[in-house]
Amino acid sequence: MSKPEFTPNEMMTIAASRALKNDDVCFVGIGAPSAACNIARLTHAPDITLIYESGTIGTAPDVLPLSIGDGELCDTALTTVPVPEMFRYWLQGGRITIGFLGAAQIDKYGNINTTVIGDYDCPKTRLPGGGGAPEIATSSQEVYITLAQSKRGMVEKIDFYTSFGHGDGGDHRERLGIDTKGPTLLITDLAIWKPDPVTKEFTVVSLHPGVTRDQVQETCGWSVEFADGVEETPPPTELELATLRDLKARTEAAHKGA
């Protein structure tokens, strides 16, 4: 039987979804994180609790939301709580096992910029901003990050610190009194990365099928470290691909008003 064909973005989303467990309580970012979290819910983690910044708890959208204010989230949630309760009781109370974020820029220590490209006072591009991501990055027990690789997005030094990762590396979080683990996983369209236990620099631990080390380095703005014995990411299964494609087809149809 021939293996199903897939795109790099599909591989990224599915690899990210596999990292989630059935008993996770996940604070979900819009975009790629939302797709990964809902694929997990629709496949191997049906009891995962998905929480969005607007206060929806245990949401199970039939289509991917356009924003945290999308009515689909509230319509399918177990309950909706006020935003102050969401942040103070759920997030800052330590009840979120995984914060799942995207990034416009990221550095090798998992610090995220979603605020501006260029100088803050006169930027080349002004981005949507942090929203709740700064609090998610410091208060979730762990943080997963997903983005497509490019030298523009994966940079030696980010232009603005929106969401704190491991700072300058090492014990920087601990020195600042942040007692959560911070970024523990980075999933791109080419590879899976984990922070070095000591330096906290993201290191490639798995290459997606057909991807070379040179491809990873060519699309990254810092000198990439590779773990000893880099593995190959298992390709998507037919079920995972079908679930993802069906979800995206439903989402496209809904957003077109079909």
Q: What is the pLDDT of residues 87-144, one digit of tens each?
A: 999 999 999 999 999 999 999 999 999 999 999 999 999 998 888 999 999 999 999 9
53 is catalytic: yes
pLDDT at position 68: 87
E strand spans, the chain: 25-28, 49-51, 56-57, 79-80, 98-101, 105-106, 112-113, 116-118, 123-126, 142-146, 183-187, 191-195, 202-207, 225-232
Say which range, 13-22, 128-137, 142-151, 213-222, has the weakest mean pLDDT. Answer: 128-137
Res. 258: pLDDT tops 90: no
Q: Which of 5, 10, 53, 231 is catalytic?
A: 53
**Residue entry with tokens 């991917």:** 64
Q: What is the radius of gyration, based on Cα positions, of the chain?
A: 18
Distance CA 34, CA 109 (A): 23
Helices 8-18 and 32-42: crossing angle, nearest 10°? 60
Alpha-carbon distance 233 to 252, whole Å?
28
